[in-house]
């Protein structure tokens, strides 16, 4: 009977841990007078201070926990051949090679701005997109608002999807100014 109770207790603890993981919590350990269990279901990350390990493209970053962060509110040209590149080429009436070159320029700007630097990430209403990427507003340690800086310097267009619209008005203003002053991708 004692063995059955221990097995049931173990099953309950595992199920409790799984439900906590699903709820975004992490079960660290369980202590009782008779048993001690230690479960590691992942690591808590401090999105207030996290390293950007790689820039994927002009509007997507990879952070130290391996997650990808899609920058909210901006859209940079595609660098790689994809369905989106082909759609953008048809929509803008530009050839794919031109769009890819603009994408490489946006990528280089974003890479220089954030790769290898510690940042903080702020979230809006939705934390993830349909591809399971984090959706974020990213800030350098000196306070530079990365999403806004990319638009301000002319390396991104606007891409607003409600309900994630916290900074939409600021982004519209910066985009208009970048185009009017022919900065970044608008210089050509």
Catalytic residue among 133, 176, 180, 183: 133
- Catalytic annotation present for 20: no
Q: Could you give the angle at which helices 83-92 and 96-114 cross, rounded to 10 degrees?
A: 110
CA gap 34, 3 in Å, rounded: 13
Catalytic residue among 20, 70, 87, 126: 70
Q: 129 Cβ partners below 8 Å, 6+ apart?
A: 70, 135
Helix (H, G, I), strand (E, B) or coil at 50: strand
Catalytic residue among 54, 64, 67, 78: 78
- Catalytic annotation present for 70: yes
- Catalytic annotation present for 78: yes
The number of residues in the chain equals 188
Give, as one character, the DSSP assignment of residue 77: -
Annotated catalytic sites, by residue? 70, 78, 133
């Amino acid at each position: 009977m004692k063995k059955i109770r221990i097995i049931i207790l173990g099953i309950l603890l595992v199920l409790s841990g799984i439900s906590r993981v699903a709820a975004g919590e992490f079960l660290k350990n369980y202590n009782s007078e008779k048993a001690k269990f230690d479960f590691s279901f992942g690591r808590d990350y401090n999105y207030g201070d996290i390293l950007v390990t790689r820039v994927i493209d002009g509007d997507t970053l990879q952070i130290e926990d391996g997650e990808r962060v899609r920058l909210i509110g901006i859209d940079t040209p595609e660098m790689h051949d994809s369905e989106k590149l082909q759609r953008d080429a048809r929509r803008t009436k530009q050839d794919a090679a031109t769009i890819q070159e603009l994408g490489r320029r946006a990528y280089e700007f974003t890479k220089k701005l954030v790769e290898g630097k510690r940042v903080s990430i702020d979230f809006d209403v939705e934390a993830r997109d349909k591809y399971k990427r984090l959706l974020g507003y990213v800030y350098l340690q000196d306070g530079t608002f990365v999403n806004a800086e990319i638009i301000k310097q002319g390396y991104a267009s606007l891409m607003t999807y409600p309900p994630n619209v916290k900074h939409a008005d600021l982004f519209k203003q910066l985009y208009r100014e970048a185009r009017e002053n022919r900065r970044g991708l608008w210089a050509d």
